[in-house]
Structure 1
Amino acid sequence: MPDTPPVEDLGDGVWSLPVPIPGNPLGFTYVYVLTGSEGPVLIDTGWDHDDAWDALVKGLARTGHTVQEVRGAVLTHFHPDHTGLTGRLREASGAWLAMHPADIAVTEHLLSRDDDTRRRELADQMRAAGFPADDTAELLAGPRYSPPPVVPDLPLADGARVDLPGRDLRAVWTPGHTPGHLCLHLADGGRLFTGDHVLPRITPHVGQFPLTADAGDPLGDFLASQRIIGDLPGADSLVCLPSHERRFGGLRTRAAEIMEHHEDRLAEILLLLRTTGAATLWETSRGLTWRRPWADMSVRSRHMAAAETAAHLRLTEERGLTTRTGTPDLPRWAAVTGPDAPA
């Protein structure tokens, strides 16, 4: 687990506050503080944990502000390491919470489901993916998923300006990692807050949910978003401030590397299916190369890996490279072959 770096003044009224994620290999989420003429605004809030809240409150004090002075928080996406403290923040300060409408809809959906319902839906998904019964039982017995504590009150559409008087901070919609993921462009400061869309070393997770859904194309959206972000005016002169790891430059080059990684993965999947024949999602996922051998992964990691494989399979369907066979309860994917197969 990486060491948590110190609070840092990045200049021009921008601060980075590393907020810990206890027990998670990511280690921390960067919460960014931007000062404006009528109070500070946060980008993300961090994980819902007492240690995380203490780090946020103490970090804000280092910037010369109290949590009660926070004007609002822009949330890059709905994942709990970014939205977990929204409830405490709203209670302490009355701050507005802004998020893209697509992720607001996801948040509303998650909060409408009780834990038993979510677990039944997860079990159905894993059976349809072909997971062994033992894996399904183990995952269902694990910790419950934590949805965001509250629904954000301000929809923030692509290109919209954030309510931060005295600064020009604008939303850039980059769907893929989640349907409503946002990057934030500080046009008057030459900075881009990339959330989890572009990270300097690791490749952001892109999953298909539900696992065997035959609609949507999150990976296709993600690749299109990488092209959009890489084509921002002056992209390679921007200082990129991600939610994890470290700040970086060379945005266009990094976006191209991420796209190449996914194209390589698509090629690996097609080669596997041409070798093995039609396969379930679990069989396909198990047959791919992962940083850790499939047999050594925790069941939670296998589930995440399968979600990523599912997103790749959806894109191969969209490109006409695979077809879905089997049954709705247990679909299989087969590579399209023959003279009419796409190149």
Structure 2
Amino acid sequence: MASSSSSTAAHVLPQQKYDVFLSFRGEDTRCTFISHLYAALKGKKNPCSTCLVALLTAIEQSKISVIIVSEHYGDSRWCLDELKETYGQGVIPVFYETDPTDVRKQERSYAIAFAELEKRFKDHMDKFHTWRDVLTRAANVSGYSSQNRRHENELVETIVEDILSKLNRKLSCSTKGLVGMENHIQQLELLLCIPAQDVCFRTVGIWGMGGCGKTTLADVVFHLNSSKFHACVFLANVTEESEKHGMYHLRIEFLRKLLKDRHISIDSPSIGSSYVIDRLSRTTVLVVLDDVSDLSQLEFLLGEQVL
């Protein structure tokens, strides 16, 4: 996820690709709405590290741009330049404590901001008119407004769901070249009760000879649906890894990923310890165990109570 607030800060995803580019005026929203939105996106398993990158590169490599249009967004030519560069990209405008009509028509605070910009850039009126155009265009895109929400957390949750839905649709497009994959995905999601219903647990096995696409199918379903769960683990090569390092080592790695705790170490023969149960209480979990060759491996990793 990449973000900017007139300075050039970006959060890099694997392979230098970004899921989301956030454009916002820091003075308006950095310590309020943006902090909540960023935390929610990061909590949806968007691994990121912080580094400085070229702004245009960050925008170009982002799949979706979220534009937080606040009261004084129009005061910043940096924000307006960012908005210009997102043209032609998937854009989600969020009108935070400002009326979309004021943005569209450049009224109230935006009238003041553009009057000042017109003075400062009187020798570069082409740039000035471009800013007006992109701002009007952004205001005409269907987006979200904080004025329609009583609680900020509801707005954040709705935006995150929309982002994840759009990202998942982009990912699903990559399966079109896989013959019959979409039908198998739908069947598997139905078996797993996705979207989640009142189900305590559901175990589904994919059986077949090597090379028939079991891992590919499981991987696609996992990535399409992982954002809908609080915790997710894809444990690859179970049989091979257990032969190399032993099942105790594999279970510890599994629990570390599941509980997001690199220091956990459970030597008990049973996975159903009160510590693990307490940590996972009221938590939705999606687990994929790849290349399982024996039922005892499932029992050791998951516990007999879920099989």
TM-score by length of 1: 0.26
Larger Rg: 1 or 2? 2
